[in-house]
Amino acid sequence: TQKGSMKPVKKKKTEEPELEPLCCCEYIDRNGEKNHVAACLCDCQDLDEGCDRWITCKSLQPETCERIMDTISDRLRIPWLRGAKKVNISIIPPLVLLPVFLHVASWHFLLGVVVLTSLPVLALWYYYLTHRRKEQTLFFLSLGLFSLGYMYYVFLQEVVPKGRVGPVQLAVLTCGLFLILLALYRAKKNPGYLNPASSDRALSSSQLELLNRKGQEKTKGFPGTDTSGSLNNRTAKDDPRGSSRMPAGSPTKAKEDWCAKCQLVRPARAWHCRICGICVRRMDHHCVWINSCVGESNHQAFILALLIFLLTSVYGITLTLDTICRDRSVFTALFYCPGVYANYSSALSFTCVWYSVIITAGMAYIFLIQLINISYNVTEREVQQALRQKTGRRLLCGLIVDTGQYNRAHL
């Protein structure tokens, strides 16, 4: 045969066995095996061992508890098209515990004091527990959204039928609720993540290795570092929007803002979020209430969501107190409303009012801190960094921290 007539021999591709489609109740578990929703309580040795030790009054090892929780979170699923979907276990506690606690608190005044005092304590304990482990959780997002929905439900069921709330007032409150959800949806979008693939000036492989090696060596004990293995010495002259201001041939200079986790040179005021696992432009903080970072792209939507929530919450509290405690001012009715526990409907409404007051006070504090930081053109992350390094200047009994690094004239 002539060379021109020779055709390249095509190699036969090895045919991979096709997986059978999953029904609505089947799923692939964490071990890579097909499982069924109906078998969620089968073949769980860790759970059996834990129950046996609990019955015999023996202590459980922390590793056993973690394995039990991993198994429960893997098997907690709902039937769905093309396979059962996994449900995050942190969503469930607020949906169950919040109505129970509020109904128990409405039985008596002392029960209300105990329950409404313990709720913020439990929430703070869970926050510090997850924050210390650097884990993402949907608990606070679920708690916030369910609180909005449940407060609105109680308002419709217990307050509106009393006849003191007009259709215009109800429409205003409903519009406020929808605006809150819209602002939260916008705030939960991309806060300004830095994508290594979109960097305009990519460094060579040798420079990457040099930066990684030097960054890991000098991270330990360096005053301007975080735990992600990256140095944080920045100057105010850096461009806040450029993905890389360092020349490609200067790895010594570029290592100052090099993130070993994301493999990129960060712009000024960008930080690596250890919970999200990615760098964010002008990162302010990681907000557990939206389960996302607050950065350059969603900071305004976050402030707007706080403002609309505060206005809507105060308006709803005013309407409720005017209905269940007539002929009294809002502030007086909040602390002195005789006969409110004589009727279970008014008692539940009054309990929900105090729960809303606690949540509103917390959000008002966050809103105040955000306004102060904006007026001084600092982010919460920069404030915490300045306090740790003792480079910031405390004002107004520590409520204001001036880092003195960036211009205060603009956001």
Residues involved in catalysis: 287
For residue 361, how many other CB atoms are within 10 A of its CB?
Answer: 12
Tokens of 75: 């098997």
* DSSP-H helix ranges across 42-108: 45-55, 62-75, 92-105
Provide the token pair at 187. Answer: 């705030």
Contacts 24+ apart (CB under 8 A), 405-408: 405/236, 405/378, 406/236, 406/269, 406/377, 406/378, 406/382, 407/236, 407/377, 408/375, 408/376, 408/377
**Residues 350, 354: Cα–Cα separation, whole Å:** 6
Pairing of strands 258-259, 264-265: antiparallel
Are residues 296 and 191 in contact, defined by beta-carbon separation less than 8 angstroms?
yes
Q: Which residues does residue 309 pair with via DSSP β-bridges, in sequence order?
A: none
Residues with Cβ within 8 Å of 296's Cβ and at least 6 positions away in sequence, in order, are 191, 192, 240, 280, 281, 282
User: What sign has the CA pseudo-torsion 282, 286, 289, 290?
Assistant: positive
CA distance 188 to 196: 21
Residues 63, 386: Cα–Cα separation, whole Å: 37
